[in-house]
Structure 1
């Protein structure tokens, strides 16, 4: 289907039906898996919307979101994210406060990726130390926002978050994405009670080539 030939929705559906014999939940899951794998390989195509519409994938994911199975819900979160189906933003938001920790975490991560309306609102909801996997996933989502042109300044959460692990990560991301305009916040973090926060602030200030008063740096190093 990913060729130069132009297909109608009916032709796509018929071709898919010929391949899988019967279009049902199982075969649609297989089809979505192929689309996700194809897109994860960074293969761009203007055929995605047509295929998604032809196979009624949005409706299929709607059913998975409403499933009693947590694994199906999680699959739907991840598939909606990869296929960039931001129409599910509000639906995913419902699960962001689930009592189930895994559902809540996956919903928040997917919401970060899909939402164009304050997607980082959950930064202040992280209530535990970030694992390396958490950091990798969050970095991927932040990169996606940057590619969309929606990456906001991270200073707000650095300034107000009570989670030192998150603060360290966000300060690191400020350096990675070369964000400007939060010099004062970074310099203030040189006097933070947490030594990891102070250390990362020094590294990020260096990456951004922000000059700081020598005495402040010496005092900070002594504190560390």
Structure 2
């Protein structure tokens, strides 16, 4: 050991006699070597930890899944103490190692048996196995990845926790953590779950999907009126998201607010407002959409065509003929042709007429529209609507008889 220190001291003294450029080069060589070794060690530790977690989950998951599912769907009521005792009998004491498999397995059970979440047995599983306590403690970890996982689990398991546990993370400097905690806040907060919608949140597509899931899971029967955030938000992405929510949950009380956005300065916001009116089947707005069609940019024109298809009033076939004849872009022509094809018997008759007349690439477009094997969002929409209308008529007949 003494020899090693002497060697290092001798090397350091010798290094000071080298030219400055050589000293810098040697320093960078040592620094890059140390950084590479550190990186390799970190990768090794992460891979080892991942393999260990996967092994634990793989070995315990089938048994834990059956255990939890049997209790959840059982007609017999279990107390939280009984759940805990039975778990210990089968799997031993609740340790961090057990939780590695227990949490994701419970999420799988909940996903498969979501209809039993109101069962007393579910809440006794949560209390008996201290699931909520464990996840709350995970929120205090310094590792951002661990906290993000905890927020995901709280949301998937439909658990509510104290606001004081979530709020510190909703103002975190880390953007991913801040977004995820605010999305989770919508689902797990006991007090004011929608407070962060008063702020601009820079929502990307995945953030919007996450928030929509929160609304479906936790607030489907107690939704706020989204139009107030449409009016007061300055973030265009956030405005578009709330317009989509209005359409998705069919909030008829927000139609007047959406009407103002048909003339919005931003084309993408205007497009969402037009599509929302269509999806909500606001027939009164159809004539206005047709009137402004020729003055709109292409994305808004396509949105108007889609909206006309959704509304399906039966009065717009003349407009669709004119739009098809004047369309120059192939994608727009295909969209209009498909809307005509799906626009009742009148539309189908006109489609067959132009199908016989068109040649070349235009004829190929019509072939594409007619082909039932090619996926089509509009075709699926109209099929589902026909099924809904048929079911509602059947239900009405049953009630009358």
- The two structures share one fold, judged by TM-score above 0.5: yes
Q: Deviations over 1:116-166 (max 9, x none)?
A: 5332222343443522x222212211222443x221110011111122122
Residue in 2 that maps onto 1:166: 238
Match of 2:207 among 129, 134, 139: 134
Query: What is the DSSP-based 3-state SS (H/G/I as helix, E as strand, rest coil) of the residue aligned with 2:162?
Result: helix
Alpha-carbon spacing, 1:7–1:193, altered in 2? closer, same or farther (3 Å) = same
Distance 1:137 1:221 in 2: 36
Residue in 2 that maps onto 1:34: 105
Query: What is the DSSP-based 3-state SS (H/G/I as helix, E as strand, rest coil) of the residue aligned with 2:224?
Result: coil
- Is the CA contact (8 Å cut-off) linking 2:158 and 2:217 kept in structure 1? no
Residue in 1 that maps onto 2:186: 112
* Structure 1 residue 70: Cα displacement: 1.8
Alpha-carbon spacing, 1:15–1:97, altered in 2? closer, same or farther (3 Å) = same
- Is the CA contact (8 Å cut-off) linking 2:163 and 2:191 kept in structure 1? no
Query: 1:72-91 to 2 correspondence within 5 Å?
Result: 72-91=146-165
Deviates more, 1:109-118 or 1:158-167: 109-118
Distance 1:84 1:55 in 2: 16
Alpha-carbon spacing, 1:14–1:215, altered in 2? closer, same or farther (3 Å) = closer
Residue in 2 that maps onto 1:23: 94
Distance 1:214 1:9 in 2: 61
* Structure 1 residue 110: Cα displacement: 0.4
Distance 2:231 2:286 in 1: 21
Distance 2:126 2:94 in 1: 14
* Structure 1 residue 189: Cα displacement: 0.5
- Is the CA contact (8 Å cut-off) linking 1:175 and 1:207 kept in structure 2? yes
Match of 1:9 among 66, 69, 80: 80
Name the Cα RMSD after superposition: 2.3
Query: What is the DSSP-based 3-state SS (H/G/I as helix, E as strand, rest coil) of the residue aligned with 1:86?
Result: coil
Distance 1:108 1:129 in 2: 11
Distance 2:288 2:145 in 1: 54
Residue in 1 that maps onto 2:310: none
Residue in 1 that maps onto 2:367: none
- Is the CA contact (8 Å cut-off) linking 1:190 and 1:220 kept in structure 2? no
Structure having the higher helix fraction is 2
Alpha-carbon spacing, 1:33–1:19, altered in 2? closer, same or farther (3 Å) = farther
State which structure, 1 or 2, has the greater radius of gyration over its C-alpha atoms: 2
- Is the CA contact (8 Å cut-off) linking 2:171 and 2:178 kept in structure 1? yes
Q: Aligned pair count?
A: 222
- Is the CA contact (8 Å cut-off) linking 1:78 and 1:110 kept in structure 2? yes
Match of 1:57 among 126, 131, 148: 131
Alpha-carbon spacing, 1:145–1:60, altered in 2? closer, same or farther (3 Å) = closer
Residue in 1 that maps onto 2:176: 102
Q: Tell me, yes or no, if structure 1 residue 209 matches structure 2 residue 278.
A: no
Query: What is the DSSP-based 3-state SS (H/G/I as helix, E as strand, rest coil) of the residue aligned with 2:142?
Result: coil
Distance 1:221 1:94 in 2: 50
Structure 2: segments with no counterpart, 5+ residues = 1-70, 298-401
* Structure 1 residue 170: Cα displacement: 1.6
Distance 1:40 1:4 in 2: 19
- Is the CA contact (8 Å cut-off) linking 1:81 and 1:114 kept in structure 2? yes
Alpha-carbon spacing, 1:20–1:71, altered in 2? closer, same or farther (3 Å) = farther
Q: Deviations over 1:3-53 (max 9, x none)?
A: 233333333222212333332122134222222111122241431111111
State the TM-score, normalized to the length of structure 2: 0.51
